[in-house]
């Protein structure tokens, strides 16, 4: 396993929720990363953000690790969940809440409901 893949594997498996993104949770540097980080931040999720712009090996490695061509990428309990479109759909359908519930991830249920109400 390459160094980047090993580093990604360790990060994904040692944190309950990880977002590989362009920028950081407090300063996203692309609209898609901003949308997913915004949802997670609003819902009060405790997650690790990994800025792929800081390391080209991680930026390419995460695409190979997940076999998914785009960033951002969300992982919950070591499992790849999806990118921006999938996370948006899961948030609006309530599937993301269910995933967090099933994996014991704490989040603000009222905030999740407000997101859905605002997008109804």
- pLDDT at residue 1 in the model: 56
What confidence tens digit (pLDDT) does each residue in 71-98 have? 999 999 999 999 999 999 999 999 999 9
Please give the model's pTM, rounded to 2 decimal places: 0.96
Residues of the chain with pLDDT under 50: none
Where are any strands of DSSP class E within 1-120?
17-21, 48-51, 73-76, 79-82
Annotated binding site: 30
Burial class (CB in 10 A: 0-12, 13-18, 19+), 30: middle
Annotated binding site for [2Fe-2S] cluster: 30
Find the farthest-apart pair of alpha carbons in the chain and give their distance in angstroms, rounded: 45
Q: Which CATH superfamily is domain 3-118 in?
A: Glutaredoxin (3.40.30.10)
The CA distance from 70 to 62, in Å, is: 9
Residue 54 DSSP class: G
């Amino acid at each position: 396993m390459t160094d980047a893949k090993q580093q990604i594997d360790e990060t994904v498996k040692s944190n309950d929720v990880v977002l590989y993104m362009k920028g950081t949770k407090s300063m996203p540097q692309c609209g898609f990363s901003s949308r997913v980080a915004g949802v997670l931040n609003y819902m009060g999720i405790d997650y690790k953000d990994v800025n792929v712009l800081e390391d080209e090996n991680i930026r390419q490695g995460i695409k190979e690790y997940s076999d998914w061509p785009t960033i951002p990428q969300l992982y919950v309990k070591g499992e790849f969940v999806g990118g921006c479109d999938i996370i948006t759909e899961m948030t609006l359908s309530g599937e993301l809440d269910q995933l967090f519930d099933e994996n014991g991830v704490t989040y603000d249920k009222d905030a999740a409901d407000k997101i859905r109400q605002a997008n109804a």
